[in-house]
Structure 1
Amino acid sequence: MAEMNGNSETQFQIPKIKFTKLFINGEFVDSVSGNTFETIDPRNEEVIARISEGDKEDIDLAVKAAREAFDNGPWPRLSAAERRRIMLKFADLIIENAEEIAALDAMDAGKLFVPVKNMDIPAAAEIIRYYAGAADKIHGTTLKMSREMQGYTLLEPIGVVGHIIPWNFPTQMFLMKVGPALAAGCTMIVKPAEQTPLSALYYAQLAKQAGVPDGVINVVTGFGSTAGAALCSHMDVDKISFTGSTEVGRLVMQAAALSNLKPVSLELGGKSPFIVFDDVDVDKVAPLALVGILFNKGEICVAGSRLFIQEGIYDKFVKKLEQMVKTWVVGDPFDPNSHQGPQVDKKQYERVLSYIEHGKREGAKLLTGGNALDRKGYFIEPTIFIDVEDDMKIAKEEIFGPVLAVMKFKTVEEVIKRANCTNYGLAAGVMTNNLNIANTVSRSIRAGVIWINCYFAFDPDCPYGGYKCSGFERDLGMEGLHKYLQVKSVATPIYNSPWL
């Protein structure tokens, strides 16, 4: 184990990588081809490990294991109470290993170690506990039939599920997908992002340690164009749950439709408006707006990347943002003094920098940042553009980095129209002390999540998903469970009815 690079007050040791192979039917195995790929540390651009590269043949094996586990294995047939017990043990093991898992996500994704350890992982474990508690509350309804018949519905697990998860929140996305599918009684194949495979493999072995039967959770690492595509088009997969870009979401839908017409749930991109009215306390709201774009180095689909400020406080608010950014530390994610780590990989790093150049060329005024850090690794300065126009590229397209577009508005009606002038509809923030304005704007914005006087207010019980090109169906909440269930209606004639 290597000693941490950084100024940690405690001597944390970076763990040795334990799991690099595919996890199929309860065992770690090499890919059929024997091929591997490198997973890169974005802090220093060095290779962390070589990971087995799954392809179509490996997806076939994983699906076969999941199908056997669903059709003939114990998991869908266990009592809900027993599934709950195993899931709660899984959550306990996650907490017990939080430090090691946090290190994996910090190395693999450039995420800040301390927040991942103290917030992300405990919150993700709570998602497992939430769905463990829901496992024995899955039931249908009694129907009021219009004829002399008894009718009721059953909720049954949908079957074999393919989960395709993104690289920005490897831990939370894995457990947000796996948790409700486990509670429903499904079996599954998880295809983590090729940039961040390490924690997914770690979670697979924790699930087995907790008592999840072989074949229920399978993890196939590899690339979207090969392993991901094979999973989406597989005839023996009953549902796909995908979180990622809108562009890839379209390909997922197409593959699912052209195979066995399997249902798809999509949580896609966003260009969320963060709307600030002039009745707020600037000193309280400005830090929220800054975190709304810089949290997780902007690699979050609900980032408040379009900041609308009412004209009465525009200059004061912008000045406050400029002051706060000066204290924002970009550095090693293992250093507890860092506020922002590196972008996940070179491709994303170059993408963000290209958008910054677009903003400069289009005439937006650069308030802060705008450059890469002069050091090894994929570090970018927090970048704020002011006086941005709605038709500029940086105001229309998802950047997925620490780049904020600031715009001025006058009236409630104006900002509603401008906020909705986007292909996306994932989230929005509304900052005001006026209840009428809060209600009006929250009901008018076409987005799946509206946060009033708060931001990033996630909770296991609060459904999360998008409108328009931000996708459909929901993660979290009971809606996140129901998408892994299907409704079966049962009707029976009542004795002596004319049906007999």
Structure 2
Amino acid sequence: MAKNKKTEAELPKSGPLFDYAPAPESPAAAGEIATSYGHFIGGEFVDSSGSEALKTVNPATEQVLAEFAQGTEEDVERAVKAARKAFGDWSALPGSERAKYLYRIARIIQERSRELAVLESIDNGKPIKETRDFDLPMVAAWFFYYAGWADKLDYAGFGPNPRPVGVAAQVIPWNFPLMMLAWKIAPALATGNTVVLKPAETTPLTALRFAEICRQAGLPKGVVNIITGDGRTGAALTAHPDVNKVAFTGSTNVGRSIARQLAGSRKKLSLELGGKAANIVFDDAPIDQAVEGIVNGIFFNQGHVCCAGSRLLVQESIQDELLEALKRRMATLRLGDPLDKNTDIGAINSAAQLARITELTAAGEAEGAERWAPACELPSAGYWFKPTIFTGVSQAHRIAQEEIFGPVLSVLTFRTPDEAVAKANNTPFGLSAGIWTEKGSRILWMADKLKAGVVWANTFNKFDPTSPFGGYKESGYGREGGRHGLEPYLNVEARDV
């Protein structure tokens, strides 16, 4: 044994400790993907009234997966009418009866989780281990949780006899297609509303597969309607006069447009928009634990996360030590096939998003920040971007102020807690923040001073259906999750709809 032992000088100096063979999930597990899709209206798949079709592609290969309908104003009208027609009977059901449907949907999602996880990875580009181990468990958990609220609304703290608002128009983004669907639909149905949902134009497939689950669960026709299309369809939906509630997750610019559009109307509105979260590391933080939190905070889902920790604020005295450890960890990240179970970083969702990331990183270099990325071979097809960090970043740099929505981390330093708070709050956004320190009193002090809807302590990107999520300032308003997530779908004044 002794003579086979390598000396320290003979051991590899860099790279992953273990080398894994590819372990791809079978694309066939996603089930049959139709060549073209219409809308799901009134419990049936129907053709669009228009002839325009869009295509969704696999971002890892640029292969066209399917065509889907570009929703027209007439399609929106049909979907809203179907939801309005279903509202009377659905809202009149006892909460315990609505709960049965939600529980059934949750169980079907669990039963079909492998199929849905693979389909999500193919259409979105995120690694299968994320869709399998995070997205799908969260989706099922959201339906289970709100099923439990359906017969307890009188005790939710929103007054006696809270009533549903009516028809909810919901527009969701492409970064967590199925999870954002669950965040919107589960509380809406639990509170007795009906839904018209529009998925993002780059990731419609799991929403359309969810329509099949609604039929499998025996959900009454018209309670959930799904129309596809781009921003034109979304604008027509949110502007429809017979919609009572609008829920939007997406860019700040579109959120502003919707807010202007609905100003003066009686429609309820909740917006979950962009972010530029600060991940703040103090000199007493456990370095290795903090590094894992930093990596999870910015490289999870390729950085396509509204609450991503895209600004690292590190106390000046430990900057060199932390960055050295961070670079070592980044060198072990595996970029490649999203269906490979070993992959850490998948494909960027679209060519347009890749162009946005490329533009902002070029601006970072032009403004004087120093760029670093580990050695990494990018696939020849698809949309890819290396995990990247910038040092020497000032608060005036675009990469410190604008949401990149990609695997790019800007590093700034601070000396005192007051300076950390000032720099963390120096952003138009206010969605999330992270604090790394061993002092509980400092955590509480920082959390009180930070202008962020969610503050994580010695962790990052932790979600639970019982906990509310949402932002301040240009990150939007309203909360999703927890008891708070019921309020946007309830008319607490008990007016008739």
Partner of 1:197: 204
Which of 120, 126, 142 is the equivalent residue of 1:127?
142
CA apart distance, 1:311: 1.1
Larger displacement relative to structure 2 (342-351 or 132-141): 132-141
Once the two structures are superposed, the pairs formed by residues 51-90 of structure 1 within 5 Å of their partners are 51-71=68-88, 74-90=89-105
Per the alignment, do residues 430 and 171 of structure 1 end up closer, same or farther by CA in structure 2, a change over 3 Å counting? same
1:107 aligns with 2:122: yes
Per the alignment, do residues 371 and 356 of structure 1 end up closer, same or farther by CA in structure 2, a change over 3 Å counting? farther
1:434 aligns with 2:439: yes
Measure the CA separation in 2 of the matches of 1:141 and 1:416. 34
1:28-53 deviations in Å (ceiling 9; x for gaps)? 01100132111011011121011122
Per the alignment, do residues 245 and 10 of structure 1 end up closer, same or farther by CA in structure 2, a change over 3 Å counting? closer
Once the two structures are superposed, the pairs formed by residues 1-20 of structure 1 within 5 Å of their partners are 7-8=22-23, 13-14=28-29, 15-18=31-34, 20=37
Which of 248, 253, 259 is the equivalent residue of 1:247?
253
Partner of 2:235: 229
Moved over 4 A (4+): 9-12, 140-143, 369-372
1:351 aligns with 2:356: yes
Which of 301, 308, 313 is the equivalent residue of 1:308?
313
Runs (5+) with no aligned partner, structure 2? 1-20
Which of 483, 486, 493 is the equivalent residue of 1:481?
486
CA apart distance, 1:11: 5.0
Which of 14, 25, 31 is the equivalent residue of 2:42?
25
TM-score calculated relative to the size of structure 1: 0.91
In structure 1, what residue type is equivalent to 2:208? Answer: L
Partner of 2:9: none
1:367-400 deviations in Å (ceiling 9; x for gaps)? 2259993521101000100121111000000000
Partner of 1:270: 275
Partner of 1:498: none
Partner of 1:50: 67
Larger displacement relative to structure 2 (443-452 or 208-217): 208-217
Which of 393, 397, 400 is the equivalent residue of 1:388?
393
TM-score calculated relative to the size of structure 2: 0.92
Partner of 1:403: 408
1:292 aligns with 2:297: yes
CA RMSD of aligned residues (A): 1.9
Measure the CA separation in 2 of the matches of 1:364 and 1:254. 37
Measure the CA separation in 1 of the matches of 2:455 and 2:133. 26
Larger displacement relative to structure 2 (26-35 or 160-169): 26-35
Contact persistence 2:27–2:118 (CA under 8 A): no
In structure 2, what residue type is equivalent to 1:68? Answer: K
Measure the CA separation in 1 of the matches of 2:171 and 2:256. 14
**Percentage of matched positions with identical amino acids:** 42
Secondary structure of the structure 2 residue equivalent to 1:123: helix
Secondary structure of the structure 1 residue equivalent to 2:64: strand
Measure the CA separation in 1 of the matches of 2:223 and 2:354. 36
CA apart distance, 1:54: 0.9
CA apart distance, 1:489: 6.0
Contact persistence 2:336–2:378 (CA under 8 A): no
Contact persistence 1:42–1:107 (CA under 8 A): yes
Partner of 1:495: none
Measure the CA separation in 1 of the matches of 2:199 and 2:374. 32
Measure the CA separation in 1 of the matches of 2:313 and 2:156. 45
Which of 73, 93, 111 is the equivalent residue of 1:96?
111
1:88-109 deviations in Å (ceiling 9; x for gaps)? 0110111111111112111111
In structure 2, what residue type is equivalent to 1:106? Answer: S
Partner of 1:470: 475
Secondary structure of the structure 2 residue equivalent to 1:139: helix
Contact persistence 1:273–1:306 (CA under 8 A): yes
1:141-168 deviations in Å (ceiling 9; x for gaps)? 999xxxxxxxx73200010000000000
In structure 2, what residue type is equivalent to 1:211? Answer: G
Runs (5+) with no aligned partner, structure 1? 1-5, 144-151, 491-500
